[in-house]
Amino acid sequence: MYLPRIDETKCTSCGECVDVCPAEVLEATDGTTAVAQPADCLGCESCVSVCPEEAISVEEI
């Protein structure tokens, strides 16, 4: 199981992570990006690799 986290102090809500996530774990609403479905995370770290602000981390739990 994996736990994605978004550092809100770094995130600019560009939406790159939302677009690349194959499991639709992340969502962008009202100018913010959030982890909407953490249990669905595959641990692929696609979101980590596309984030221009390095605001996302994925931890194996």
Residues whose CB is less than 8 angstroms from the CB of residue 54 and which lie 6 or more positions away in sequence, other chains included: 10
Tens of pLDDT, residues 22-51 = 999 999 988 899 999 999 999 999 999 999
Which domains are delineated in the chain? Answer: 2-60 (3.30.70.20)
Q: Which amino acid is at 33?
A: T
Give pLDDT, residue 31.
Answer: 87
Average pLDDT of the chain to the nearest whole number: 96
Give pLDDT, residue 57.
Answer: 98
Residues whose CB is less than 8 angstroms from the CB of residue 36 and which lie 6 or more positions away in sequence, other chains included: 24, 25, 26, 27
- H or E segment at 17? helix 16-20
Give pLDDT, residue 7.
Answer: 97
Give pLDDT, residue 33.
Answer: 96
User: Token digits for 27?
Assistant: 């969502």
pTM of the model: 0.91
